[in-house]
Structures are given as structure tokens and as C-alpha cells.
A and B are shown apart, each in its own frame.
Chain A
Amino acid sequence: MTRLGRQIAVGPTDNTSDQRTPRKRLRLIPAAARDSFVPVVPARFRANPTEWDLTRIAPDRPRATGVPIEVKGTIRTDNGTPLRGALVEIWNANHHGRYRHIEDNSGLELDENFFGMGRVLTDDDGNYRFWTISPGAYLARADIGRWRPKHIHLSISGGPARLITQMYFPGEPNNTTDPMAILMGDAFERNIGRLYDTPDIDVDQGFQFDIVIGGRNASYFE
């Protein structure tokens, strides 16, 4: 039998997915070319030491509007090895569902105390932690009333590990209609942060989001 590569599915009700999803099956990489397909991201990034707290633009500035939350977790490769010194780039919409991005033309309210972008590095045990404002859901398709569920974007790069993903929130009604969540099927559960109590720190809720990097581009993991 001939070996075939994957056919990527188009996200239902997602126009951009329809415009950009390759229609042909992905081609399998010949073994002789395999190694060349795994980028190794140099550890040259510097995260600003105050960027872990996205609830303020700077330590001496007021807190942004909305619910302050903590997100933390451990990043591992799929054989369980902690990913040390990896860069985690974080971005999320403000309380009203608006990004501080020049191409966000939603017209939703900006919050002058919320920047919405930050970077942290994982420690020697692969742990990361940041504070942010719980993002608002935003309308992705006004014509059919489809909302993007609350989510935080995370981009992880460090050595041969590379992942762009999103953390979702438990129990959100829009989770079930999200095109990408639908494509994930049961595995969507892995992308939902787990609520924990934060009685002793200056945030209202905590979400544990452990991340496993594996599957594709897994060469060079020990």
C-alpha cells in the first residue's frame, strides 16, 4: 500500500481556513531529507523581566480593567523532558475582546492600562508563569453570530521545540462552536486550562496549562 501524507481539514465556518488550507495531501518527507526539516531556535531571546505581568503596562502603572488571572504550567517534550529556557510569547485580547494590534479593526474598546503582549522564559524545570487579564470573547463572524471563545495565544520556541497554540477556558459556551476546537475533537480538552484557587496572591483565578511538545518536528528531542 502506498503511504500517504495527511489531508488537512478546513475549519467549519472559518473563511480564512477555507482560503488558506492546502487542498492537496501533505507530502511525506523522504528519510534522507528528514533532519533538514527541524529548525533549531537559537536561545538568543531576552524577555523583559517585567513582562510576565500583563495586568499592568509597567510595575508603576494601574491595573487593567477586568479579571486578573494567573496562568502557569510545565512545558515538556513528549518523552517527559522539561523544556528549559524556552521562550513563551503570549498575547491576548483585553477585557472587551480587543487586541492592541494595528490590524484589529473591530472597533471594540481599548484599555489604556492593558498592553496584551508579554514574554517569559521557562525555568530549569520547564515551568512558566504569567499574569494577565481574562480576555473577552470576540465576534469572529457577525453574519452567523459565531464568537471566538475566550483564549490566550501562546508561542513556544526553544531549541528544536516549536509550537503555536491557544489556551482555552473551562466551561465556556463558545468552546463547542470554535472551528479549530471542532477539528481537535476530543483532544481539545488538552488545550483547556485547569482552574485552581489563588487565595494568597493578587489575582482572582489561576489556570494550570501544562504543555507537551511533540508529534511533528520531534527530531533531536533526547
Chain B
Amino acid sequence: MTGEPGRNMLPPTNEDTCGPYFPIYFRDPALEDLTRVDSGVVGGPAGKHIILRGRVFDRHGNLAHGVVMEFWQANAKGVYRNPSQANHPDLDPWFNGYGRLRTGTGAYTFRTIRPGASEGRAPNITITLFSDGINRVVTQMFFDGEAANATDPLLSSLDEEDRERLIARHDGRTVDGAEVYLFDIVMAGENETPFFDDFES
């Protein structure tokens, strides 16, 4: 965690909406497919390939167009590439765990590897949304059929209905062997996806 709040802390710049025109020009295919390796290069991340697919909806059930989605996950062995794990023997040199895409229509497809379980947690992927009209909101998705879901501290902090809203459904596999998971996000209103934050009100 960061230093104790209030002790010589500079006041943070406000987040602001990213607006409707986040440049498609900034897209990076390597951040939309974390299994991708440049052509001619030998290598690639360890782990089972998965495709995470879904739609982002607004309060009226319409697709939320122009949303920027960011993904953050552990590698196949459950290790995150963060400063506290810098010397971890199970870091994967071919895997950073950070992804980003912008969905024009509100439907998205993200290719990655299935994360392993990190200590005390069920396998999960953190998803951040930036969009017009809001500042970022953050949630986590889990995989259906995982035994560890039953004891995950985040899922356990929610009621049954909200837990279900964070679990991606398995939907077969592609011809090249990637397991497909479906995960829809409802930004507001009925069936709203639970979003998470650190700040108490």
C-alpha cells in the first residue's frame, strides 16, 4: 500500500471521462492478444489459450459503444508481474499480464492465457472500463466450474446474485483449441455488474 494518507501527500489530479473519441490509432494488437508473438520469433507465454468474449451494456440494455477496456491478470502459475514479485522464480518472460482494447460497438474479444490461482485466490482477471460519461470503473471476472471460487475472498464478500454476475460462462472452444468464455458487463441499472473501489464514503 501507499504511504499513510495525509502525510506529505500531493493532491491527485482528477480523473476525467475519456470521452467518446479515444483514438483507435493508439490500439496495439499485442495488447488485445496476450498470446501473440511477433512473426518469426520463437517463444510464447505458458498456459492454456482462452478467448474472453462479451458485451458491455448501459442502463437501458443498449451496447455501450466506444468503451476502453483494460485487463490485468496473473500468468499461468498465478504470478503477477508487479514490483513485489520482481524476483519470483515463476515469472513468465513471455507474459506481462496487461491488455487493452477499445470496443467500437460495445462487443469485445480478448485473447489471453488462463491465469493460474494466486495465493488465496481463485483465478481471475481484473477488468477496468474507461468510457464517455464516467471515470474508470473496475471489476474482476472469474471462471465457472472453478472449485476455488467457493473460497475466494472477493466473491465471498458478495451476495449470491452478485457472485454470479462475476462468473464467465464456458462456451466451447475454437478450432485452434482456445477455450471460449463469455462475460457480459452491465455498467448501470438492472443486473448491474458489481464494481470495486478502495475509497470509503
A residues within 8 Å of B by Cβ?
3-8, 11, 14-30, 32-42, 44-45, 76-80, 89, 91, 99, 101-104, 117, 119, 153, 155, 159-160, 162-166, 180, 184, 187-188, 190-191, 211-221
Contact = CB atoms under 8 A, between A and B. Distances in A.
A3 B133 contact: no
Interface string B88-105: 000000001110000010
Given A39-B98, A40-B98, A165-B16, 17 more contacts: A4-B201, A11-B17, A16-B20, A20-B58, A20-B131, A29-B198, A30-B153, A30-B157, A35-B80, A36-B140, A40-B97, A153-B22, A155-B18, A162-B136, A187-B14, A191-B16, A212-B12
Nearest to B18: A164
Contacts of B60: 19
Contacts of A103: 20-21, 65-66, 104
Q: Pick the 6 closest A-B CB pairs, nearest first.
A: A16-B133, A39-B72, A17-B133, A26-B197, A214-B12, A218-B2
A102 B201 contact: no
B10 A76 contact: yes
Interface in B70-100: 70, 72, 74, 80-84, 96-98
For the residues of B in contact with A, the DSSP-based class is loop
A22 B187 contact: yes
B81 A26 contact: no
B64 interface: yes
A170 B10 CA distance: 21
Nearest to A187: B14
B80 A42 contact: no
A20 B129 CA distance: 11
B1 interface: yes
Given A6-B197, A212-B11, A78 B2 contact: yes
Interface string B130-152: 11111111101000000000001
B197 A20 contact: no
B12 A78 contact: yes
A11 B66 CA distance: 18
B126 to A, nearest CB: 6
A221 B5 CA distance: 13
Given A20-B132, A26-B197, A117-B23, A33 B10 contact: no
B83 A40 contact: yes
Interface string B117-130: 01011001010101
A117 B3 CA distance: 35
